[in-house]
Amino acid sequence: MIIKSARLILRLPLVSSLKDKRQISRGLIGKLRNKFNISIAEVARQDAHRALVLGLSLVSGEEAHGQNSLDEILRFVEDYLDTTGAGELVEVELW
């Protein structure tokens, strides 16, 4: 059993309120859960409306499959942010 986890830090420069941030985070988290069947949550800086910190984890039977899934998740997040214009992925920490 292989467990992969990551912390993603996103910058949301156009967000002007926590309500706007919540709308972006709920949309992104929901899409990631549905598409990749992962555990994901906002894990820090909940009161900062221009920053979104997500923690995620996934379980796989093989190292290569786990890494490929994580790479695909990161590409999805970047594409989502580019498409919506919501912000940018500024930091990724992998464990």
Banded model confidence at residue 12, pLDDT cuts 50, 70, 90: very high
What integer pLDDT is reported at residue 26 of this predicted model? 94
The bridge status of strand 39-44 relative to strand 2-11 is unpaired
What integer pLDDT is reported at residue 49 of this predicted model? 85
Backbone φ, ψ for residue 56 (5° rounding): -140, 155
Convert the pLDDT of each residue in 20-31 to its tens digit. 999 999 999 999
CATH topology of domain 2-94: Alpha-Beta Plaits (3.30.70)
Query: Helix and strand tally (H, E) in the chain?
Result: 2, 4
Contact between 95 and 47 (Cβ < 8 Å): no
How many Å apart are CA 74 and CA 76, to the nearest integer? 5
What integer pLDDT is reported at residue 64 of this predicted model? 92
Convert the pLDDT of each residue in 51-63 to its tens digit. 999 999 999 999 9
Burial of residue 67 (CB within 10 Å: 0-12, 13-18, 19+) is middle
Per-domain residue ranges of the chain? 2-94
Contact between 91 and 52 (Cβ < 8 Å): no
